[in-house]
Amino acid sequence: MLEFLLLPSIIIFILSFIKSDKVNIPLAFVSFLLVLPVTKLLLMPKPYAILGDYLVADKLSTYVLFVSSVVAIGVALALLTLHKHVKVSKHAYRRFYRFFAIFWVGLIFSILSNHMGIYWIGLELATLSTVYMIRTNHTDAAHKEAWNYMIVGAIAISLILFGIILIYASAKPILGEDAMNFSLLLEHAKEIKSPFLFELGFAITTLGMFVKMGFFPMNLWLSNIERASFYPVAALFSGILESAIIIGFFRFSKIAMVINYDQLFVFVFAYTILTIFIVSFLIFRAKDFIRLFSLSGIEHMALIAMFWTSGAPFAALLHFGAHAFLKPALFLSTGVLESNGKYKIAGALRGYKGFKGSLFWFLVSLFLLAIISLPPSPMFFSELYGFGSMVSVAKESHHLLAMIGAILLLLLFLALIFYKFIEIYQSMKYEGEEGEKKVYLSELLSLVIFAVATASLILPQVMSYIEGIA
């Protein structure tokens, strides 16, 4: 199975060395194939051991991997017409795909791993390969941001390793060499002799993950990087890399829930509320699409972490899926939206002619309204579930008043974000001059894929599948 999973990436890697401009089409085509082995994995009985105890496909990881592979298809589709929107050499495509292949390998390892060490190795591989993807944009800004990403990413990932070592040290006395195994660790979590050591390790690991997702102290670095790189890279960041990080958070926090739920709860809540507080004001000041979407991505990641820790894995996973589909779609549409200039929000949704154009603006406005969780969007349901479970958790712990206060505060911040998005939408649609913009078939196709995928999340079968994970 593992060979099957890795095969497309290996083919991409080899193809990327062929020095011909025509190779871009087969590269994109092979990228579509990424989804096939994952679909096969999805249909298999769970948990399915891919590589002994190290790589195990359970429901959670298959779901995350499947979502990621759908995003990968969309990105590959949009990449076909990248050169029509931005200045990019044909050569850069091949290098992008070369590192995309490595990225995907790292991602498979980190998402499917049942082992802290392998999770870290995969994550590091994915991080390092994205560094070079940023560099496909040949500008000074992108170059600087690539270094920035390398350094901040390295610090974040070192923090994660630091925490993993501490967790390993805490569990080694009872589990020996197997102390890095997530499922074993979960089973024996109660027996850990020095829970403080585990808590410390968990806190440091989580801190590393939060830094990597752009949480509280490092709010702007991710958005600056996404601004400097090409928009498909930004889509990859928000759609795939963040999912690899958040699945690690899911796994680690599952163990932490058993050991010391209160500490985990307070830590994550304080952190995420602080993050959302800052991000909501940053969003309010955002002046271009990519920063706007990137900051809103941070907000959603914070919400996902919050829902997960408040005992609503269903809400977290639904929100995660919806975000993973909507955000790359928005990032990919910026290619068209920004064809009048990077900082021109006004009038971005005007001037679309013909069937393709109108479908495009219709889809984009749908996405924009879905990302702020207006009712038919899956995000609406997930937030409903999430806040509900937060209240129910608080009921048990006699801190109902504090929780209701926190939720009100959150709603206030979310309302701020909501207001800003509506304002931007109105300015896009009704202000500014009407400039002619071209939409290409492949981008439209990818947007349609994302729209269908998002819509399918509210199907009862899919919902029950996600509920089965939790």
Residues that bind another protein (CB under 8 A): 54, 102, 115, 117-118, 120-121, 124-125, 128-129, 131-132, 135, 143-144, 146-147, 150-151, 154-155, 158, 161-162, 165-166, 168-170, 172-173, 177, 180, 194, 196-197, 200
CA-CA distance, 381 to 388, in Å (whole number)? 10
Name the 3-class secondary structure at 1.
coil
* CA distances to 306, 345, 404, 433, 434 from 429, in Å: 33, 9, 36, 10, 10
- DSSP 8-state symbol, 435: -
Phi, psi at 269, each rounded to 5°: -65, -45
Residues 6+ apart with CB under 8 A from 411: none
Q: What DSSP string runs through 147-192?
A: HHHHHHHHHHHHHHHHHHHHHHHHHHHHHGGGGGBHHHHHHTGGG-
Q: Output 102 or 393, the one with its CB closest to another protein.
A: 102
Q: Output 177 or 396, the one with its CB closest to another protein.
A: 177
Q: Output 93 or 360, the one with its CB closest to another protein.
A: 93
Q: Least separation, in Å, of the C-beta of 270 and another protein?
A: 20
Q: Least separation, in Å, of the C-beta of 194 and another protein?
A: 4
Q: Least separation, in Å, of the C-beta of 164 and another protein?
A: 9
Phi, psi at 351, each rounded to 5°: 85, 30
Q: Least separation, in Å, of the C-beta of 150 and another protein?
A: 7
Q: Least separation, in Å, of the C-beta of 151 and another protein?
A: 6
The secondary structure of 80-109, three-state, reads CCHHHHCCCCHHHHHHHHHHHHHHHHHHHH
Q: Output 195 or 432, the one with its CB closest to another protein.
A: 195
Q: Least separation, in Å, of the C-beta of 124 and another protein?
A: 4
Q: Output 175 or 424, the one with its CB closest to another protein.
A: 175
Instruction: Give the max Cα distance, the chain.
Output: 68
Of the candidates 235, 201, 31, 38, the residue with the CA atom closest to the CA atom of residue 133: 235
Residue in the structure block whose two tokens are 């995000």 = 379
Q: Output 156 or 390, the one with its CB closest to another protein.
A: 156
Q: Least separation, in Å, of the C-beta of 161 and another protein?
A: 5
Q: Least separation, in Å, of the C-beta of 397 and another protein?
A: 26
Q: Least separation, in Å, of the C-beta of 98 and another protein?
A: 10
Q: Output 132 or 465, the one with its CB closest to another protein.
A: 132
Residues 6+ apart with CB under 8 A from 155: 211
Q: Output 135 or 319, the one with its CB closest to another protein.
A: 135
Q: Output 54 or 284, the one with its CB closest to another protein.
A: 54
Count of beta carbons in the 10 Å neighbourhood of residue 14: 12
Please report which helix (H) or strand (E) contains residue 56, including its range.
strand 55-57
